[in-house]
Structure 1
């Protein structure tokens, strides 16, 4: 957002810099996580793109670390699609030992034995957080499940929190992942989508000057319009920013419904963006269902032969895709 736009509407900081908006769902999930993490569990925390998973994970990690009842570990690797079991085990060695220079054994058998002993000596449960876990290979997920068993056999407790798009939940339900999925506690943040009205007013309260009221920035009817057409906090931030910039250009204040109708994308609820928010882009769909990319593009654009489109839609819906 441009500085002159912020000054015009009395906005003192960017929306992305607002504090964490904690919903009742988020509070309930955190209470559950605090109870089951010390037990040594495999946990899947899922939510659509923009619901706030990463911010939520950061808050959980900070609170757990501050309470010091468990040791918090996480991988800092930015190439999540290339993250494997070795990468995650290395993160465990660094964070459990507290030494980023720890010499991690290269041989698998010694590596697992040393980690088993290290966690046992720590005398605390350990939790490993894996963000973007929908990108992890199924062999890595299976390896993590086995690693938890190894730690348990050595007298330690290791929990693993896998955070990712709803695709992660669907993957864990598939027959090929039965061994892991059956032992996974699954939680969803998507119930938070019903709080967008409260989120909008909270966001404006946090990011505007003390003398600015929400109605000075956006009309109540326009807030209603946003909550009817959007589904995540990230969408609110993006489209509210676009509306503010356009309102500044044309001299409208506060934002009204007519302006939102001009700026809100007409494609926001189409098949392609909906699937992407759930973790299914063209590549993922092609790999999972063995469709030709050209067929997928035609399906998205509405140009696919009707019978074939019906067949593909039925297959994807059966697999849990929101289509």
Structure 2
């Protein structure tokens, strides 16, 4: 272990907040002073902003551990209004009583008045505030109304990423936005603070060798991490391991570069534009995942505002032009990147590419040779001209780049080839193909569908029903056969985490809207994992992931009694766990709407 070689008493670069290692740059100190002054002045509602890993939680911990006032610290945003209020009271040591919101609010107000008489402010710190649902923010607005003549009874600090500013722009939250009396944004650290930060943590870990990290290593750490404390920790920790593994007496520039440029970590430490945004980068990553995963149509167009049009079954998958498949490499010291328990064998993953051509199809044609659908071309032939082609399913989106079809059990996009046949267009109920100079329409079999709204979403249908207007194709028979059998969203999770990806919230919001319009249906959430780690651990992790999704939906107004969660663990893998892409697909939560009582 590198601690003995380098004379360290403990690991200096852990990623969990530890008061022993707290380091405050000039910006952190100013933020702490500003928020402390806001508490003293009874400001009421305060906002602490910062990108991922900039040290918001450290400031929250410091404020929470202050002995001059009682405080509550909440870092789990997916709660109902009642659960949120109950958590605040429990953190402050207030009896919860019968659990009703009115009773808990009354108990809290009485407690605040008692503390006011003692001259003590009461502080509630909400971390990860950018993930709070509208109902919780409404509850926070109510709590911020508890005032006396000389100020607010409750001091509330919302700490989160700048994403929360977009949420606060909503007209419904205008009053809450206007009540925020103090705002502070944490920036990344400059070069000098980054070097001081590394040296501070080394000293706290017992290091007496002031040259353990060379000046070149410290400079490279700053350049690669861009002054983000969390990335500084990761890069420094890996560099120490690298130096130890290679028998070095200290960490030099080469060890830092080798770690930062490794394929496994390169996305973390890639060069960023001057106005680089974590939000933009994360959205791009999720979009790459959307394009890359070739299994199951990404469950019919994540983010589409229309219900998917699906028929048939998927028997096998051929992926083309995708970038998600990965090749396994063994890196023993990087075990935290997998779902595992101590002692398990660890396989981490390295990005690669899938082959352009699979199953012997013709190679993709250059754009210059692409043939577009010409209205003056030969009249379109009927689908029977290609009897050997089976159109199994369509997931149509108004954005043609997201439209997907299944032809001969293969997933295709517009522009793809199957042999010498090119997919020109994907429409709601047919595809247009090109073979030579001949255009062919291949229609989907309407009689196989259970529900085909085509260009009407659920809310539009409901509005028309209330107005007494019915679509010509939306007849009584279609109403009787309405089914959610093909609407089964999948939420994917990263290694060993239960965090919902930002891009998945759009689909969950859509699900909440559909569920709210369907009172006779309930939601069943099943969680799955890969097979890395013990069966018991994976079972627990899968259950935790379902609870995370459940709590978000409850926060959107769904009755918790109508949501059932099941942790399936390693069962029912979508792809074999023998490959990295298979494990990535298997780490998921599947959601299904079923008639009440059928679950």
TM-score by length of 2: 0.41
Per-residue deviation, residues 262-289 of structure 1 (Å, max 9, x unmatched): 2113222378x96369986749xx9xxx
2:35 aligns with 33
1:113 aligns with 106
- The answer to whether residue 178 in structure 2 is matched with residue 179 in structure 1 is no
Give 1 or 2: higher helix fraction: 1
Matched-pair contact (CA < 8 Å) for 1:218–1:254:
yes
How far the C-alpha of 1:27 sits from its partner, in A, is 2.0
How far the C-alpha of 1:153 sits from its partner, in A, is 6.5
Distance 1:104-1:133 versus aligned 2 partners, 3 A rule: farther
- The answer to whether residue 231 in structure 2 is matched with residue 229 in structure 1 is no
2:8 aligns with 11
Counterpart Cα distance in 2 of 1:34 and 1:278: 33
Q: CA RMSD in A?
A: 3.5
1:195-206 to 2 correspondence within 5 Å?
Answer: 195-206=193-204
1:126 aligns with 122
1:143 aligns with 139
1:1-323 to 2 correspondence within 5 Å?
Answer: 4-15=1-12, 16=14, 18-38=20-40, 39-63=42-66, 66-67=67-68, 70-75=69-74, 80-96=76-92, 98-99=93-94, 102-123=95-116, 124-149=120-145, 151-152=146-147, 157-184=153-180, 185-192=182-189, 195-210=193-208, 212-213=209-210, 215=211, 217-231=212-226, 232-264=228-260, 265-268=265-268, 269=270, 275=278, 282=286, 291=303
Distance 1:110-1:257 versus aligned 2 partners, 3 A rule: closer
Counterpart Cα distance in 1 of 2:164 and 2:21: 27
Counterpart Cα distance in 2 of 1:254 and 1:115: 54
TM-score by length of 1: 0.73
Counterpart Cα distance in 2 of 1:55 and 1:144: 23
Higher relative contact order (CA 8 A, sep 6+): 1
How far the C-alpha of 1:95 sits from its partner, in A, is 4.5
Corresponding residue SS for 2:65: helix
Matched-pair contact (CA < 8 Å) for 1:165–1:279:
no
Alignment: residue pair count: 277
Corresponding residue SS for 1:45: strand
Matched-pair contact (CA < 8 Å) for 1:49–1:279:
no
How far the C-alpha of 1:291 sits from its partner, in A, is 4.5
How far the C-alpha of 1:229 sits from its partner, in A, is 1.3
Matched-pair contact (CA < 8 Å) for 1:26–1:189:
yes
Counterpart Cα distance in 2 of 1:136 and 1:291: 20
How far the C-alpha of 1:176 sits from its partner, in A, is 5.0
Distance 1:42-1:200 versus aligned 2 partners, 3 A rule: same
Structure 1's unaligned 5+ residue stretches are: 309-315, 317-323
How far the C-alpha of 1:142 sits from its partner, in A, is 2.1
How far the C-alpha of 1:140 sits from its partner, in A, is 0.9
Structure 2's unaligned 5+ residue stretches are: 291-301, 305-321, 324-350, 354-398, 400-502, 504-599
Corresponding residue SS for 1:182: helix
Matched-pair contact (CA < 8 Å) for 1:131–1:163:
yes
Counterpart Cα distance in 1 of 2:258 and 2:135: 47
How far the C-alpha of 1:88 sits from its partner, in A, is 2.8
